[in-house]
Amino acid sequence: MLMRGVINKRGRALLFDIDGTLADTDALHLQAFNAVFGPYGHAFDRARAARELLGRSNLSISAQFLPDEPPERRAAVMAQKEEVFRSLAAGAVQPLPGLMALLDRAAAAAIPVVAVTNAPRANAELILHGLGLMDRFRAVVIGDELPHGKPHPLPYLEGLRAIDAVPERSVAFEDSRAGIAAATAAGIATVGMRTNLGHDELIAAGAALTAAAFDDADVLDLVMARLGGRL
């Protein structure tokens, strides 16, 4: 977990998943999964990937789809998939609409922001650097570096702890069922970003509301209600 010192007297925070939330990278993940998992008899379209892959840890994915391989081979296959993804994503990521404006408003209001992801650190840093956001985040929490990744709440609890935030004064942004489960289990109101799942699916997973962009009026209303004051 990467952390930068911060005094957070009011306990507020915005916490963001990375893939599919800061940027719509999931089509690139789908391409990488199909390239690497195809020889093992697996083929994914976007709907299946949203149901069975996105938001989950590499450990759980490899256990499900490579059950006959020894652990070291599973790890090697997943590493290959991530290498393919990084080659596709380098220089190709763009922020979701409204993200930069929301981060600017958070900075002006001295609200710390945290990244919470199941992605490997190399992937997370590639995307954050590609978006020019590495210096914006006070902490980067990697699920695979913890005893439990999403959908367990531990990554979000670690994100709160890193900046002395409290769940009732924080908002999370997620695009997957596993991510929403993790954030809501940590007690954080969560916005479901409609990059892969529809409104009904995100609400059923536990999202407080859904949005196509970070500057949707409902998003700003929720952030101001939870964090208090103006943003």
- C-alpha–C-alpha distance, residues 219 and 231, integer Å: 11
- Residues 57 and 143: beta-carbon distance below 8 Å: yes
- C-alpha–C-alpha distance, residues 20 and 195, integer Å: 6
In tens, the pLDDT along 125-170 reads: 999 999 999 999 999 999 989 999 999 999 999 999 999 999 999 9
Pick the catalytic residue: 17, 26, 175, 216?
17
For residue 104, how far is the Cα from the chain centroid? 19
Q: What is the 3-state secondary structure (H, E, C) of 163-186?
A: CCCCHHHEEEEECCHHHHHHHHHC
CB atoms within 10 A of CB 62: 21
| Nearest in space to 177 (alpha carbons), one of 144, 210, 146 | 210
DSSP secondary structure of 126-161: HHHHHTT-GGG-SEEEEGGGSS--TTSSHHHHHHHH
What average pLDDT score do residues 194-203 get? 94
Our answer to whether residue 19 is catalytic in this structure is yes
* pLDDT of res. 146: 96
Residues 6 or more apart in contact with residue 72 via CB below 8 angstroms:
none
Our answer to whether residue 104 is catalytic in this structure is no
For residue 46, how far is the Cα from the chain centroid? 17
| Nearest in space to 33 (alpha carbons), one of 73, 88, 111 | 88
In tens, the pLDDT along 96-130 reads: 999 999 999 999 999 999 999 999 999 999 999 99
Q: Does residue 1 or residue 204 have the better pLDDT? A: 204
